[in-house]
Structure 1
Amino acid sequence: MARSENKESAGTTTRYVARIARNLRKQKGWSQEELGGRLGFTGSAVSAMETGSQPASDQMLEALERVLGEGSGIFEEAREFVRMDKYPAQFKDFAALEQRVVAIFIYETHLVNGLFQTEDYAHALINGGFPPPSEERVQGLVDARMARQGLFSRQPTALIELILDESALLRQIGSTSIMRKQLRRLAELARLRNVTVQVLPLNAGSRGECAGARGSITLIETPDDDRFVYLEPQDESLLIKEAAKVRTYAQRYARIRAQALSPAESVALIEGLAGEDR
């Protein structure tokens, strides 16, 4: 059932790549098992790719380029677009914008933001979702999420800012080891010159105001000087570009930042939590 559902939801690029791979394989007179052996994958993995039930991974596309593409670049060029097919439908428009941003400002309430997640944390989080996803779907989403992290080292450099509610640091996702590694990864990323990580403490509302009470916010700026707000409540998505609304969210974000711990204090808190026997 899971594979049937995946096939029905396969994106245009995924289906196109599958058709090209199947046609080139047949031209060479190879079975799926033979192609799999040359690629370093099983015949069933080739079958899943060709039927669209499992989009090709980056590793498979690299192997397909070597074995079937023969230097044409057809599978290499498809990597970015196949990756986009793996994202949930409501996230695809934002994912395309995210890769182009010159600046991104994130406030996250309950969980570590996907851009900052370790692979193990992402797997535990996605695998624990409801309705329960298939393992193939989980791995596809994890792979796509990890690929987004190229933004940290992309040229030209993007300015990346994350404010995490302290509760996200205290909420254990997966094992103690997974959570500790996630916290250490946050501290590591916070030391990049283009990255700032801050924590909104649990007592932020002790003076009667908690600017982050209305939920998560993501603001982005593009090379064209466009500014957007992205919201994602309960697996739905809302991309806002109306200037007056964007300005309101930007002002709210500024208040959240003002109530957060300083970057140095935040990293110290994260490292302290990572060092605890939790």
Structure 2
Amino acid sequence: MSELRGRAAEEPGAEEGEQDAGADSGILRVFGRQLKRFRIRAGLERPDFASTTGYSPSTIAAYEQGRRIPPPKFIDRADELLDAGGVLQEMKEEVARAQYPAFFRDAARLEAEAVELHVYANQAVPGLLQTEEYAQAVFGMMRPPLDEDAIARRVVARLARQEVYGRSPQPMMSFVTDESVLRRPIGGRSVLRGQLEQILLAGRRPTVEVQVMPLGSEENAGMAGPFILIETAEGRRIAYVEVQNVSHVHTERRLVKGLEVKYGILRAQALTPRASLSHIEELLGEL
């Protein structure tokens, strides 16, 4: 992941669930202006509105100035208190997308709406499977380094993607992960242990298939790098490819079809889902 472009200055009174905004987040400035307009129309001074919502005045100011990302619960509460008629709530999805680096926002939206997700990973455990500790370690190893606040924002955003598991109906998901990723002790052995345990739990879900590409395999169609395949409720098939801070969302059928064929080959070359879970249990036993 590349670092968010720009960074807002920290202010006291940060609330749980909020994040700093990137400089390119125009939707936050639009939301902030609307929030302020509705507050003034309601005849509320900032401290009074802050007290009513349970947030500090400095935090409300940061929201109104588009410098922080308000959590969904605040947007719902503000829309109700200010009698905004759903105007603020209508921006909730776009505001939520602002928590991601700009290059990943379109992919994050598609991922959240997908009916099918298929992931090939050969560099790190896929974000949809990562534990908080593993994600913290991954972002902590970025070079140039991220500061602590940026790391915290990235971890929150990554874990938020896993809300897809709580959707009803859940999307069908499959993961093919290179064994080297599952052996690499990013963050230390205890972090890796927790990560492998989480992968096992995910792999036992009825809507999730986990496969391992073994180190001993002489064939691997995924040497060009990781990618994600997405299918939407409308039947659109999309591919997301990212490497070295350069990402592409592919919609051209020829390109997407090529990656779909590659993924099918990868699944055939990898261990079966049942054998993969058994192999992960063996890896756990080695730690």
Band of TM-score, shorter chain: 0.7 to 0.9
Structure-1-length-normalised TM-score: 0.84
Task: Select which of 45, 48, 52 maps to 2:59.
Answer: 45
Secondary structure at 1:232 match in 2: strand
> For 1:123-162, what aligned pairs fall within 5 Å after superposition?
123-162=136-175
CA contact (8 A) 1:180 1:275 kept: no
Question: Residues 30 and 47 of structure 1: is their aligned pair in 2 closer, same or farther, counting only changes over 3 Å?
Answer: closer
> For 1:87-166, what aligned pairs fall within 5 Å after superposition?
87-166=100-179
Counterpart AA for 1:227: R
> For 1:57-96, what aligned pairs fall within 5 Å after superposition?
57-61=71-75, 64-65=78-79, 68-69=81-82, 72-96=85-109
Which residue does the alignment assign to 1:177? 190
CA drift at 1:145? 2.1
Q: Which runs of 5+ in 1 are unaligned?
A: none
CA drift at 1:201? 0.8
Question: Residues 47 and 214 of structure 1: is their aligned pair in 2 closer, same or farther, counting only changes over 3 Å?
Answer: same
Question: Residues 38 and 88 of structure 1: is their aligned pair in 2 closer, same or farther, counting only changes over 3 Å?
Answer: same
Aligned length: 271
Q: Which has the higher helix share?
A: 1
Sequence identity percentage:
33
Counterpart AA for 2:260: A
Secondary structure at 1:203 match in 2: coil
CA drift at 1:275? 4.7
Secondary structure at 1:86 match in 2: coil
Describe the superposition over 1:156-202 as per-residue Cα deviations: whole angstroms up to 9, x where unpaired. 33110101111111122324333222221111111111110111011
The CA RMSD measured in Å over matched residues stands at 2.8
Which residue does the alignment assign to 1:17? 31
Structure-2-length-normalised TM-score: 0.81
Question: Residues 273 and 35 of structure 1: is their aligned pair in 2 closer, same or farther, counting only changes over 3 Å?
Answer: farther
| Range 234-243 or range 38-47, more displaced | 38-47
Q: Which runs of 5+ in 2 are unaligned?
A: 1-5, 11-19
CA contact (8 A) 2:53 2:77 kept: yes
Secondary structure at 1:130 match in 2: coil
Describe the superposition over 1:16-68 as per-residue Cα deviations: whole angstroms up to 9, x where unpaired. 2322334455531233xx655544444443343333332113454455456x4
Describe the superposition over 1:84-117 as per-residue Cα deviations: whole angstroms up to 9, x where unpaired. 1111111112222222222121110010111222
Question: Residues 64 and 179 of structure 1: is their aligned pair in 2 closer, same or farther, counting only changes over 3 Å?
Answer: farther
Counterpart AA for 1:53: R
Question: Residues 129 and 57 of structure 1: is their aligned pair in 2 closer, same or farther, counting only changes over 3 Å?
Answer: farther
Secondary structure at 1:193 match in 2: coil
Secondary structure at 1:3 match in 2: coil
Counterpart AA for 1:14: L
